[in-house]
Amino acid sequence: MLTVWGRKTSSNVQAVMWGIAELGLEYRRHDVGHRFGGTDTDEFRAMNPNRTVPVLQDGEEEPLWESAAILRYLATRYGTAPFWPEDIPARAQVDKWAEWAKVNINSAFTVPIFWKVVRTPEAERDWPAIRAAVAALEGKLAIAEDRLGQVAHLAGDDFTLADVQFGHVLYRYYEIGIERGTFPNVRRYYEALQERPAYREHVMVSYADLAV
């Protein structure tokens, strides 16, 4: 049994939960963080000194933190090809795109755009900075646009761990009130993700309680 600490409105928690669901693993999740609190207790700090979510514990194993590390662990222990290939060069290709998405898409969207639009009072929103951040993000999305014009999923024709790292950001990107560029291949890919039950359950989650 997997145990996850983290609120369902956290994008990093959503990525982990989506991965867990795609792998068909049993879990229990505790709402921790933001309005739920709980990250400043001695017990939580002992699991994660950063006091951030998600944290995962697999049975009696030592708790893990950092969503990308958690996803790689789950994929390595419980995943199979093509989601997480055994062949090392093939796995490296999946990992390459997963890391690209984490570094170039997630980090370029969550704080400089999502937080500045949703989690910042309207009167304090710096729209020139937000638009510049969107432009920077979309410079990277252009890479995905080109890639998805050639293959069905980010790392190739099959759904893999890379799609979890990339796809979980797209729900908020397409839902928040910003001007977006036209990326027909990314949009088609996003619409296909919405057909996945695990994506609908764990990623397409209202973030209304994060708004200020």
Are the beta carbons of 6 and 33 closer than 8 angstroms?
Answer: yes
- Same domain for 21 and 97, yes or no, is no
pLDDT of residue 174: 98
DSSP state of 63: P
- pTM higher than 0.85, yes or no? yes
Residue count of the chain, please give it: 212
- Same domain for 180 and 109, yes or no, is yes
Q: Within 10 A of 69 (CB to CB), how many other CB atoms are there?
A: 11
pLDDT of residue 108: 98
pLDDT of residue 64: 98
pLDDT of residue 183: 98
pLDDT of residue 143: 98
- Same domain for 92 and 191, yes or no, is yes
Closest CA to 99 of 62, 132, 66, 131: 66
- Same domain for 94 and 195, yes or no, is yes
Cα dist from 181 to 54, 119, 136, 146, 187, whole Å: 31, 22, 11, 14, 11
- Same domain for 74 and 93, yes or no, is no
User: How do residues 116-149 score in pLDDT, each as one tens digit?
Assistant: 999 999 999 999 999 999 999 999 999 999 999 9
- Same domain for 53 and 147, yes or no, is no
pLDDT of residue 126: 98
pLDDT of residue 197: 98
- Same domain for 98 and 190, yes or no, is yes
Please give the residue range of the domain that contains residue 124. 88-202
- Same domain for 41 and 98, yes or no, is no
pLDDT of residue 209: 92
pLDDT of residue 120: 97
pLDDT of residue 118: 97
Q: Which residues of the chain have pLDDT under 70?
A: none
| Cα separation of the two ends of the chain | 36
208, part of any domain: no
pLDDT of residue 115: 97
pLDDT of residue 190: 98
Q: Say how far apart CA 210 and CA 34 lie, in whole Å.
A: 8
pLDDT of residue 99: 98
